[in-house]
Amino acid sequence: MTHDPIANVLPGAVYPEWMQAIEQRYRVLGTIILHRYDYRLDQLEQLLATLKKSEFAPEDRIVIVHFDSDYYIQHQYGVDLMNLFAIWQHLDLPVHTMLIYTNHMGIQREVDQLCAHADPEDRPTIVETFLNPLSYDPKIYEHEPSIDVDKIQYHGLCMMAHARSYRYALYNLIKHLSTQLVMNIRAPK
């Protein structure tokens, strides 16, 4: 099985029990964590090209993990999702082989718009859930942290270790609020 080149224990990975359930029902050809390809669409296309077969079985699926904010620019669907579908179409992959594992409740409406002119039988499988290893871990949430907001000395904006255009936009929007805004940006590799 071909998996995303970055270990699936990072943010956005499929919760192990869900992955086991998916693998019991489908033959998973690969798992791709979509937000890791925001600025690397060529790598996404190359990875998907390696998963292309001359013939797909009905149970074949490529799992697309969509556990991050998408960008919306005057559309009813996200830019990442639109790019994914454009690459999928360019590679002539059957859409029914796509299994979208996501925390975007209601993403079916976006997919319906992107598939509006496609065969109604050729649609992706969508698994909507909030569960992934970092969004729910009983060891992490045993004790709620005690935060004394009166002791906060500096304003901050966490870029979550990944540069994203919407995070930069938010920073630029709020940077005028405080001269003490602390920011440490680590550029993507």
Q: Would you write out the chain's pLDDT as a tens digit for each of its 189 residues?
A: 444 444 444 555 677 777 888 899 999 999 998 988 888 899 999 999 999 999 999 999 999 998 767 777 777 888 899 999 999 999 999 999 999 988 777 788 889 989 988 888 889 999 887 655 555 555 554 555 566 767 777 666 666 656 666 667 766 766 666 655 555 555 555
Q: What is the rounded CA–CA span in Å between residue 81 and residue 59?
A: 23
Give SS3 for 156.
strand
Q: What is the rounded CA–CA span in Å between residue 180 and residue 182?
A: 6
- CB neighbours of 49 closer than 8 A, spacing ≥ 6? 91
Q: What is the rounded CA–CA span in Å between residue 19 and residue 24?
A: 9
Residue 81 exposed, middle or buried by CB count within 10 Å (0-12, 13-18, 19+) = buried
User: Whole-structure pTM over 0.85, yes or no?
Assistant: no
